[in-house]
Every structure is written in C-alpha cells, then in structure tokens.
Structure 1
C-alpha cells in the first residue's frame, strides 16, 4: 500500500484503511471512533465550501457563455452535464448515510457507532453482493465513466479521475488472490468509518467538479472575456518627490497573466527563491535599508522558442524615517526652562539623522537618533537652527524660536501636605518642611534650605534646614489649641544645580488640634 508513486491523498486513504484493519484486530478504541466522527464533520464542512465555490464558477461560466456563445456555449454545456452527474451521485451517497444512521438516536455519539451489521447486511449476503451493493458499485463506476467521456481523451484529468474512483479488486498481503473492492473497503468496518468513507467520496466528487471546471476555463477566462481586467499602471520615475519638484513617470495599460511564470528573477545580482516566483507575479521581500533613495535593478528570465529572453527591471524607492508618534504642537507653548535639561527631538523627514545638524546656545546632542538636550543659559528667547542634506545633495534649513522661562515658584508643604493643615503641636515639632512643584512637566528634586515659623502671640523664628530646631520647638510648645501656626519664607535649592536660584515657596499654615 505504500509502494509506487502515490499521491498524498492516496497515501492518506491507504493509511486510513490500515487503521481500519488494526481496529478490527483489537478492542475498538472509543477515542478512535470519535476521531473518525470529527474527521467526518470536517470533511462535511469542506464539502459545503466546495459546493458554493463550484456553483460560483458554473454561474460565471454561464454569464460568459451568454456574452460569447460561439466560444463558451459548448464549454458551458459540458460543465452543466458534469454538474448534474455530480449532484445525482452526491445525493445518492447522502441517502446512504441517512439510511445507515437512521437508527442512531444521537448522530454525534460516535463512540456508539462501532457496529458493522447494518452496512454488512445492506451490501453483502451469503458472500455475494446484494442488489444495493451492486447498485453502489454501479453508481461509482457510472459516474467515473460518464465524466471521462465528457473530457478530452488526452486530458491529464482522465488518469486522476480513474484513480480517484477506482473499484478494481484490491491486493492483500499473503493472500492468493485479490479481494473485491467493496469487501475490502466496507465489510466488517465500524459504522462511523463507513459514514466517513462516504463523506470522503463526496469530497472526491467536489474535487472532480472543480478540476473539470478549471480545465474548461483554462485559467484565462477573465482575461479572454473582458477588458475590465486591464489596469492603468502608473509608474513614477521615483517613489518620493519633494515639494517644488515636478512629478515624472509613465502610464502603462497592463493585464495580470496568472499563467505566466518566469524561469528566474534576479534583483541586485541575486536570484530570488522559487517560492517568490508565483504565477503572474513576483513577491519582493527584503530590508528597506537606511533612510534615503535606493535603486531596484534586476531582470526577468523567460524561455521562448528554446532560447532565454531577459527583461530588465529598473526602479527606485525612497526610505523615510518611520513615524512612531503624531507631531502635535501648540504654537504658543514653545518653551524651555532655565536650570533644567530640556529634552528635544529634532529631525527632517526624508533625511537620515547623520545628515541633520542643529545648533543653538545651550543645545547639545543626546543618546538616540534625533535626540538633543537644551540647557538655556539666560535671555528671554533662544533660536534653534536646523539644516539637512537631501539625497539629491540639496541643502534645506529651518529655525524655531523658543521662549526661555524660569522655574515657577514651588509650593510649601508640611508632612507633604500643602495649604491649611491640622495636627497636634507634638506632631508639628517632628514634621519636615518641604517644597514641591505641582503640575510641572519636569521631575525635579528640591531641597529645603530654610524657613520662618510664626506662632500667634510670639515672635517669628528663622530656621535653617528643613526640620524644626530648638527655638522653633520652644515656640510651638507655647501654642494653644486652635492657634494657626504659619510657615513662610520657605527657601529651597535645585538638587544637582545649586547655582540656580529657586523662588521662595508659598506659605503653609498649621491649625493646632
């Protein structure tokens, strides 16, 4: 069963029959029965799809036959006969499946379909075929022979259809003579395997229809019938143009030919793999390369009249930086801050980063493509100038002004709370005075360097650092419940840049509880 040049389909069928024989020699596995049931479901689903596809092809051929009867009416007539023969045979097989499953209460309980009696009694009696068994063989042989009669005797489909519906006696290992096909394929097999076998034969019918329709249509049906399959193909001299340039290119009237396949296709001196050369087209798949303009050069190689014919390939394309975010700017918000490192991204579309130059007071390159750091040193405005070199050698330049602003006044806090805070005076004595910049775009660390504390009825106490000293604690100890202690004139410095002067923070008040 495994010898000879068998098709993948025939190998699968042979393997299925080996499984059948093995099941007879041992206690039938319920899981195997279920597996055949699931296989039957999948085949049935595929048959539905194939039926729809074949119907669409037949309808399409009918339309073409009405448009050009001299060319297509005879082909449509053959297709109709094939369609009717296939429907009749398919209906007959479906009726057999209905008959065999008639007594099964649950058509999905495949594990219960392990008996073979109903099929054996229907097809065989006293080692002979029943009337129904002979009818079954006649249907298969009649369908096969009728389809072949409709085909050209030299058609390659003839051999495959004969093999697909072969009912000749089957050789058996260690047997003196071959076994009749019907006995070999159906006698003694579980019911679910027989149903699956019938569904598989229905699949063969759909495949035969598709093969015959494809043979009749040839693969050039649409191209032969209508000019609507022609396309106006615009070929630009290059795939990217800059503002101010003239568009140059050509328009061709072309038609895709799905039967045309090149022998060899070379791009950049390298032959493309066979998988890339498909009917009517060549698939290109290679790295786009760096930003800039690139050439595509190569050739098609065909064989015509025994001689190679080369068709050159010449084109080009441009690579521009890949966008990874939208460019959105508020025209009045071009601002950089003193005392901090302002990160910036500077680029020119279509120009690689190494050909872009940016300059301004306090501007320096950072890590990453197009990344810069701006640290303004003073003034009210700074201008950033940018220039770049296009692939054609032309220089482009631009500039952008940014306002320079000071870091806003911080907000004073006590125990990280701002505004009006309530706490016992014992807690206040242990608290830390801090500063923060709420809603500021930069994550800056501020260090409190001093503050002034005022308790009602007492003089103000100036404190160095961020925590209460002895004088402050003494003043707090004299505060009464309900008194509001004010902490103001809060001074701080910028961690990492102590030379920059931060404005005093807003005061914070503490109500003694």
Structure 2
C-alpha cells in the first residue's frame, strides 16, 4: 500500500482504516470519545491561530494608517479574511446539519447518535454536500494564492498553505474523495475532519498575513519628516527681495536604493540622506546640480530627479551637520560636527538644550539625548549672533525578531531545538545599540495533541519554555506572542513586537 507523504492525509487515512476495523468489532465508547477529544483540540488550536491572525491584521492596519502606500495590503488582508470566513461558515453549517440530524449535543457536547453512519453518508454523499465542500476548499485555495501577485513568491507559499484536497491513495476502494473520506463514517469521526479543514483555513490565512507583513517591511517606508526651506539664493544684498519655498519633506531613514550625486560625483547615502561638502577657494557665487536616482525594489525601474542649486561664499559661515543622519537618537551617542569658518575657535561657544553635548576635540562632538522630543544646538562667537539649530530626537526603531537567523517560516526540528532564545536585531541602524527582550509567550501546537503554552522571562529559553522547545517534532507549529522589548533610551512601558510563527519540518 502506498503511504501518503502528507501527515494530514496520513491521519485521515489511518482514522478511516481504524474506524472501519473497530466499528466492525463494535467500537467502544472510549474510542469514540477519543475522536471528540481530537475535535476539541483542533478547535482550541484554531482559536490560538485566529488570535495571532487578528494581531497581524491589526499590525497591517496600523502600518497602513502611518504609510499610505500600504493601503492595498489592508484591502488584500480583508479579502483574505472574507475568503477563509466564507469557507469556514460553509464547514460550520455542514457540521451543524450533521449534529442536528444526530439529535443535538448532550451536556458533554457529544451528539446523541454519535455512532450513526447513515447521517454523514446521507448529508455529505447523497445530498452532495461533500462534493460541494471539495469544490469550495479547492476554490478557496486558488483564491488565497491569487492574492500573491509575484509568481515566484506564490510558488513558495503554496507549500506552506495546508488547505487542500489530498489525492486518493492507490488502494482506495471509493471512486471520489468525498466517498473515500465520509461514506459510512460515524458522526464521531466526521466532525474532527470538518474541524481540521477549519483549522487549515486559519493556518493558511496566517501564512499569507505573515507574507504581507514581510512585504511591507521590504518597501520604501517614508518614516522621517523635515521642514525644508528651498531658496534659489542663499545670500542676498541689502535691499533685495528674499524668496523661498517652504514645505514638509518626507524621506526614508532606512532605504538602501537611493543614489545621490552632485555634478556627477556620487555621494555617500546614510539614513536616506547624503551630505554634500565642498571647500571653495574663492568668495562669490557657486552653482551645482544635484541628481537623485530612486530604484524601485520590486521592478528595478529607476526614477531620476535633478535640481540646480547655488550659494554665495562669504568670509564667515557656520555649518552644523549630524555625521550619520539628520536626526538624533535617544539613548545612544550621536556624532556631530560643528564648525564656524572665520571665527576664532577660542571665541566660539556651543550650547545645547534637550541633549547632553560633549566635545571630543576640534569640531567633533557627541550628542546624547535621553528621551524623544526636540534638541537645540546654539552656536555663537565673535562677530556672530547666536544661531539655533533644531533637531528632532527619535527613539531607536523597533528591532526585528529572529530565531536561527529567520523571522518565521519553516525550520528543521534539530535546528529549532538547538536554539537558545530569540534575538532582537536592529536592521539598518548605524549606531552601536542593543535591545533586550524582557519576556514573551511561546505556544506549541502539535499536529495530534493539545496545545501547550509557556511564559518566558528574558530572551533565553528557560524552564517550561525550554522544555517546549526541546519537544519540537515534525509537523509542530510554534507561536511566539507578546514579545516585550526594551531599547536604549526607552522610558515608558516595554515595546510589544509582532509575533513569530515557525512550522517544524
């Protein structure tokens, strides 16, 4: 006999074989009770996955509220919920019809005619509901995968979506899937099968929601804003009219697909911005052309933007620039360069509010604000009135969570058991900083056993959580929820990050 490779189909086949043999021997009440235990366990598992799905959907909506370009993912996520919801409603209706025909549920939640084999055969085979379920399951799978536009990504996700109809085994005695699965099966055995497909729909939804979240992180996120005053002339003569454009500019502090050059010379881009410096040897007007090239991370299309600019060189000038990006981060050392040409260094005074500012020698300083908000650096000197430079102080961005250098998906059982804990990684962050995990919840969902939940303090697996990790076997699904993290500069409650989901293979 051919042994199916898919563990879900193997479970169904074994259930059918065992039931057929045991029913011929007058199945005991204990055996039938085992099927209701499986049914309840699958229901509890679905509830856990459903909660995780709600958290991921909320995260997608929050990102879309912050960044308008993510709105299409909200529509897709809601469509995803409609597809799985319609299928689950159809499964629940068939389940309700079977329970009603079997005399309803007693106080223990067991149908009165639990051993009846004619009821499932009549409803699912004779009345055609089994064939309709097969069609609905296959259509739902197709509709779910159609939400993934990228063909290569769609092929990768196909394997992680359990919602499917297995092929008939070579030795099957029935001509159709519905007859092979439901004909002459007692009510007690059919209910867990229907519940399994409800659970498969939840898991499929979780896989695609997790994919949407990963795609949102891969796109350009305009996460920083700055007031810009753009004037064609940066120096005017008394009596002339000064003209400037004032607007709010948004930029990405983490994008790595931006190239900036001035007069054809490339500039180093850090934090989504580049700093242009030059040392003119003569006073007067100087003109340059800035070019910015933006490459689409998905299509590879490059957009180009050009703008000329000019400035006047005088005998005195002051320049203040953050060495790494045009913001200061709370809780870490921010290198800052402050220079004032034409002003004796002995007379230059530098003060700051909203941040601690320590001189390192020459024009180098370290700014270390202790909380988000605003910082002001004031520069003055001989012949120069005090000039204020305002900076936005931001908290360190949320880290991403990794186990075995992965942020979800599948892991071999041995590799998973060898891991010591969850690692918070600050992606594309140019400062020396480290975030600490204060605690999390881990949920183990075996394929054929009850779920287990443990709460862990710190990042390292310990106690009950360590035992759950050590028990990982093929087919298990692990959920890491309510992950709390504290980063340098955090003064309020610990941050709660998105969940991790791993399937053990």
TM-score range, shorter chain: 0.3 to 0.5
Structure (1 or 2) with the larger CA radius of gyration: 1
Alignment TM-score, normalising by the size of structure 1: 0.43
Alignment TM-score, normalising by the size of structure 2: 0.43
